[in-house]
């Protein structure tokens, strides 16, 4: 199997949250252009699913693991005026801030306790986060906790993670699964990329 090189390889090889943050800090300025060159699909697919299940004007929405804010400018266009962004990397957050699309930006580590009240968000979207060397099912309870009853959660999940216990862990949460996509390749121009799925759940 082909292996990822460069900045993406370094991120996938990280062994701790601190290493992930450091790798992304170093990649922040070149991230958007490099990901565009791979044909990166996760943000577009996540936004499309959110648009199918979250009414216009609902909010606030949390972009969890927002990175450089690739999705940021689209939220307002699609009708959600208040979007917050959270990410592990201060460097990525600095790039996201320059886009002016987020009502608030803050550092947060998914998989650890999040500094938001119960039911704070009408929706949570997290794309490109549940993948190799990043975050696993341990982050689900907090994402469910901070989503309002009846709110939706949109996630993209690497196929190996999905099949390795994530799907079962999600179904064990107090949610209703609304959609699970067929497997798709998130970076078509990167031969090392293995399939992912996107999923939508409604909090009970």
Residue 155 has pLDDT above 80, yes or no: yes
Q: Does 1 reside within a domain?
A: no
| Average pLDDT over every residue of 159-180 | 97
Q: Flag whether pLDDT at 8 surpasses 70.
A: no
- With beta carbons less than 8 A apart as the criterion, state whether 155 and 130 touch: yes
DSSP-assigned states of every residue in 99-153 = TT--SEEEE--BTB--SS-TT-EEEEEEEEEESTTS--GGGHHHHHHTEEEEEEE
**pLDDT at residue 12 greater than cutoff 60:** no
Would you say 98 and 109 are in contact if contact means Cβ atoms under 8 Å apart?
no
Rounded to an integer, the average pLDDT of 137-146 is: 98
Is residue 91 a part of any domain in this protein? Answer: yes
Domain that holds residue 21: 6-203
Residue 126 forms part of a structural domain: yes
Angle separating helix axes 90-98 and 17-37, nearest 10 degrees? 40
pLDDT at 20 over 80: no
Nearest Cα neighbor of 79 from 41, 53, 43, 118 is 53
56 located within any domain: yes
Which of the residue ranges 27-31, 117-121, 124-128, 153-157 would you say has the lowest mean pLDDT? 27-31
| 157 or 191, greater pLDDT | 157
Contacts of 115 (CB under 8 A, 6+ apart): 106, 108
* In the block, residue with structure tokens 């208040």: 82
Q: Is the pLDDT of residue 147 over 80?
A: yes
Q: Is the per-residue pLDDT at 184 higher than 80?
A: yes
Domain assignment present for residue 119? The answer is yes
Q: What is the pTM of this model?
A: 0.89
Rounded distance between C-alpha atoms, residue 151 and residue 120, angstroms: 10
* Residue scoring higher pLDDT (59 or 3): 59
Give the number of domains in the chain.
Answer: 1
Percent of the chain with pLDDT over 90: 81
Given a cut of 70, is residue 6 above it in pLDDT? no
* Each residue's pLDDT tens digit, 70-87: 999 999 999 999 999 999
Query: Considering the domain boundaries, does residue 139 fall inside one?
Result: yes
CA 120, CA 148: separation in Å to the nearest integer? 6
Q: Does 153 have pLDDT greater than 70? A: yes
Residue 42 near residue 188, CB atoms below 8 Å: no
CATH number at residue 181: 3.40.50.150
pLDDT of residue 22: 83
Which two three-digit tokens encode residue 200? Answer: 């939508």
Residue 195 lies in a domain: yes
């Amino acid at each position: 199997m082909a292996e990822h090189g460069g900045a993406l390889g370094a991120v996938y090889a990280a062994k701790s949250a601190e290493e992930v943050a450091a790798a992304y800090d170093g990649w922040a300025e070149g991230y958007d252009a490099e990901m565009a060159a791979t044909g990166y699909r996760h943000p577009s697919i996540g936004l499309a699913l959110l648009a199918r299940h979250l009414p216009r004007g609902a909010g606030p929405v949390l972009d969890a693991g927002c990175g450089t804010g690739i999705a940021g400018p689209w939220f307002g266009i699609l009708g959600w005026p208040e979007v917050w962004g959270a990410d592990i990397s201060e460097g990525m957050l600095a790039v996201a801030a320059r886009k002016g699309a987020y009502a608030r930006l803050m550092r947060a580590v998914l998989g650890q306790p999040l500094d938001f009240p119960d039911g704070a968000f009408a929706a949570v979207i997290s794309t490109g986060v549940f993948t190799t060397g990043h975050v696993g099912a341990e982050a689900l309870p907090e994402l469910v906790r901070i989503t309002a009853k009846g709110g939706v959660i949109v996630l993209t999940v690497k196929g190996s993670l999905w099949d390795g216990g994530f799907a079962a862990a999600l179904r064990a949460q107090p949610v209703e699964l609304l959609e699970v996509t067929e497997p798709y390749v998130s970076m078509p121009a990167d031969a090392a990329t293995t399939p992912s799925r996107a999923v939508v759940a409604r909090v009970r």
